[in-house]
Amino acid sequence: ASTEIAEGSVGVGTGATVGKAAGIAGAMKGGVGTWAVRAGDVVVGALVVVNAVGDVRDARGEILAGGRGPDGGPVDGLRYLAEGRAPFGAGERATNTTLAVVATNAALSKLELQSLAQVASDALARRITPYGTLFDGDVVFAASTADVTAASPLQPEALVALAVPEAVERAVRLARG
């Protein structure tokens, strides 16, 4: 146990890659990222392992980490697939799973935890494009310690929508390969 959390190309993030729509050879490193946000007494944290077919985009929608073509130039995976091109290269098969755990100290019911996980999944879809494809096995888990009462029912959801994108960015920005 430690207050230091390793991020980037560590642990389960060691072999993680992103931007594989046009082929595994052009993929960039994915990894592990974490972030937490607080509002009053409510804290929401996110831990994400980014290993996706899609590209990772920043807050402006620009590709932060994604595929590279044979010439080394960027390949927008979403546009590549939208044009009807085949995923991956000839004979390639990729396995992809983006995992996220979101946790809060706010007291939430089972239904509210399910909603929190859905909001986290939506946040992943805003940063990873495409997200949740036929070739992705993405999953989000949500947990609560139920220590405090949220100021409103939507407060934890809003906080998770802020934490998850930062965790995704950190996963690829801190990855080395």
pLDDT at 86 (0 to 100): 79
Mean pLDDT, all residues of the chain = 94
CA distance 108 to 54: 32
**Confidence (pTM):** 0.94
Angle at 146 between CA 141 and CA 147, to 5 degrees: 135
Given a cut of 90, is residue 4 above it in pLDDT?
no
Express each pLDDT in 50-93 by its tens digit.
999 999 999 999 999 999 988 889 999 999 999 998 777 666 66
Give me the pLDDT at residue 167, please. 98
Condensed to tens digits (0 to 9), the pLDDT of residues 15-34 reads 999 999 888 889 999 999 99
Q: How far apart are the first and last CA of the chain?
A: 26
Helix (H, G, I), strand (E, B) or coil at 16: coil
Q: What pLDDT does 93 receive?
A: 67
Query: Position 46: which residue type?
Result: A
- Contact assessment for residue 104 and residue 156, using Cβ atoms and an 8 Å cutoff: yes
